[in-house]
């Protein structure tokens, strides 16, 4: 007899990592003759979800952005109806490979915040499990090669089977507790990213001269963060930096504005050195005020110069010059999308 009457999985995924974990978990459940329903958070309205029986297991799976669940996931959990079900929280973190070892990512406050929200609604947390899937954040580093991705997928598939068996047998699984100290220590950075950092990264994407305005990035964006301004894709502050647009563009036309960020860093440094620091020093004002002012100035300039960059991109010469300053433009940098199971699965 099965421990649960059904399994209900909700996931958010940009390039497919969390979706893969959801599918693998479902695969294990189905082999145990369990009913399993999977919902994409970005395409699911809370009020449209059919009532979930109290004996069903609810699973939330989402990537970690800035050591926290992205806003779309947290909002979904916050608005989720109350219940008495057991809930398992999972996340996909930025895994890398060194030799035969997959380096672990950091969960941060993702499980802490979501557990508090769910417990306040009456749910019982039965598990908190991280999975170190291939890092997809190619704004920061080159894409992992397929051999590495295949290895990481195989290892995580085996881990999903192991932990799914444990959970579906009615046992608790709090693998994440082994990282609790580092997760707590990273909390200030998590909060900084959630309130400030994600707005900065939201302005790191632009469409280069390769863009043919096909609209795929706009139509597929899970948070509707891309819109057309003056006939060209424009990324708003709603962007979650899930990387779906960049990694799915058929023309490989979406780039990271590395050149713009270097220019802004230089500009802010000069303004701080010449104006802000001397001004505050002579008035004996606390250094924390300087930190706040510089960050506010940085975000303001980022919005201004990002919009100016968007306008300049209409000029063919400027489009190419701006594009050449982006590391993501060059072929060696690559792109990432979760690969099909047949490419790595052991038969």
Note the pLDDT of residue 277: 75
User: For all residues of the chain together, what is the average pLDDT?
Assistant: 92
Judged against a pLDDT cut of 70, whether residue 283 lies above it is answered with no
Q: What is the mean pLDDT of residues 234-248?
A: 93
Query: Can you give the pLDDT at residue 47?
Result: 86
Q: What percent of the chain has pLDDT over 70?
A: 97
Q: Which two tokens stand for residue 171?
A: 């046992």
**pLDDT confidence bin for 188, thresholds 50/70/90:** very high
**For the chain, what are the domain ranges?**
6-189, 204-333
Mean pLDDT of 92-109: 94
pLDDT of residue 273: 83
For residue 131, pLDDT over 80 is answered with yes
Closest listed residue to residue 75, CA positions, set 12, 131, 122, 126 = 12
CA–CA gap between residue 160 and residue 11 (Å, rounded): 15
> Domain 204-333: which topology?
Alpha-Beta Plaits (3.30.70)
Token pair 């997928």 is at which residue? Answer: 153
pTM of the model: 0.92
> Phi and psi for 232 in degrees, rounded to 5?
-145, 145
Domain spanning 6-189: CATH 3.40.50.360: yes
240: pLDDT strictly greater than 70 = yes
d(CA 328, CA 124): 43
Q: Tokens 């999985």 belong to which residue?
A: 9
- 3-state class (DSSP) for residue 61: strand
Per DSSP, helices labelled H in the chain are: 17-31, 71-79, 110-119, 146-168, 180-185, 187-192, 198-202, 216-220, 244-248, 258-271, 277-282, 287-312, 316-324
Q: Distance (Å, rounded) from C-alpha 230 to C-alpha 223?
A: 21
CA 113 from centre of chain: 16
Q: What's the confidence (pLDDT) of residue 314? A: 86
């Amino acid at each position: 007899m099965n421990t649960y009457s059904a399994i209900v999985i909700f996931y958010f995924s940009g390039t497919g990592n969390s979706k893969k974990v959801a599918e693998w978990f479902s695969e294990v459940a189905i082999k145990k003759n369990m009913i399993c329903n999977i919902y994409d958070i970005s395409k699911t309205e809370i009020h449209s979800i059919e009532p979930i029986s109290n004996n069903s297991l609810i699973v939330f799976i989402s990537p970690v952005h800035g050591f926290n669940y992205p806003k779309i996931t947290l909002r979904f959990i916050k608005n989720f109806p109350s219940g008495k079900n057991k809930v398992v929280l999972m996340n996909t973190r930025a895994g890398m490979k060194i030799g035969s070892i997959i380096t672990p990512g950091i969960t941060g406050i993702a499980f802490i915040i979501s557990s508090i929200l769910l417990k306040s609604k009456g749910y019982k947390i039965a598990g908190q499990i991280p999975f170190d899937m291939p890092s997809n954040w190619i704004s920061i580093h080159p894409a992992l090669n397929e051999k590495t991705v295949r290895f990481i997928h195989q290892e995580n598939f085996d881990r999903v089977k192991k932990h799914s068996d444990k959970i579906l047998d009615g046992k608790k699984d709090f693998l994440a507790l082994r990282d609790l100290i580092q997760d707590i220590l990273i909390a200030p950075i998590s909060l900084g990213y959630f309130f400030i950092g994600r707005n900065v990264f939201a302005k790191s994407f632009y469409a280069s001269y390769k863009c043919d305005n096909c609209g795929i990035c706009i139509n597929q964006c899970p948070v509707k963060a891309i819109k057309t301004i003056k006939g060209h894709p424009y990324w708003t502050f709603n962007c979650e930096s899930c990387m779906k647009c960049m990694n799915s563009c058929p023309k490989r036309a979406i780039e990271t504005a590395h050149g713009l960020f270097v220019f802004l860093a230089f500009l802010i440094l000069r303004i701080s050195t010449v104006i802000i620091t001397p001004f505050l020093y002579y008035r004996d004002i606390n250094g924390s005020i300087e930190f706040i002012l510089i960050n506010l100035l940085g975000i303001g300039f980022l919005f201004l110069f990002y919009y100016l960059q968007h306008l300049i991109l209409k000029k063919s010469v400027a489009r190419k010059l701006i594009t050449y300053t982006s590391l993501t433009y060059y072929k060696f940098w690559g792109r990432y999308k979760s690969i099909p199971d047949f490419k790595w699965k052991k038969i």
